[in-house]
Amino acid sequence: MDDKVRTMVNNIEWLGHASFKLCGSKTIYIDPWKLPAGVGGDGEIVLVTHEHYDHCSPKDIKQALSSNGEVLMSESCKPNYPGADIYTLPYMKHKVDGLSIYATAAYNLNKQFHTKEMGHVGYIVTLDGVTIYHTGDCDAFPHMADLKCDILLVPVSGTYVMDPGDAVDACNMVKPQVAIPMHWGDADVVGTKGDAERFQKVAPCEVVILDRKI
């Protein structure tokens, strides 16, 4: 990976499961959940992919946000979090605090947990000249072939989302410089470090398995 992308990877904190903090010219949280004590209060932008409890957690959103932070979330989250600054549907482009953010679709192909009709999203964020794609909870769907990014945050646990083989398919379509596996490592949800390591062994790009921020 090039130096700019490597710097950004070093500034990404994995907060467990599908939760991340992106640190750069802006501080961005994605799907904050079970935030550790002492983490939060500095989120200038909080992004939420869908309404499931392990992604849309009002308590953790509040903990993540700075005093003037903005929340962008899937329209499906509105019943659980009616106070967002922006609600989005798939395929919508947004400008939030000066950053370009694209809400991608996020859905299963042969499972009923995240159907296309539910309107769940992923996000492609351009931060400091680097594009980061958090897929949300989904499978490797055909439209990914139209998407490109430098850093791919991709689920690997199977059951509800992609398994390691599906994540390889996603990488082959999106062609990131580096992939970071997610949707693993929480005792309350499926997914283990073994899933992340299996993906790392067969991925067509560099894979960085992050340690959870404690």
Rounded Cα gap, residues 18 and 188, in angstroms: 13
Looking at 85-89, 112-116, 175-179, which range is the least confident one? 112-116
Q: The pTM is what? A: 0.97
- All domains of the chain in start order, with CATH: 3-207 (3.60.15.10)
Strand 121-127's sheet: what is its strand order? 92-96, 99-105, 121-127, 130-134, 151-155, 178-182, 206-207
How confident is the model over 46-102, as pLDDT tens digits? 999 999 999 999 999 999 999 999 999 999 999 999 999 999 999 999 999 999 999
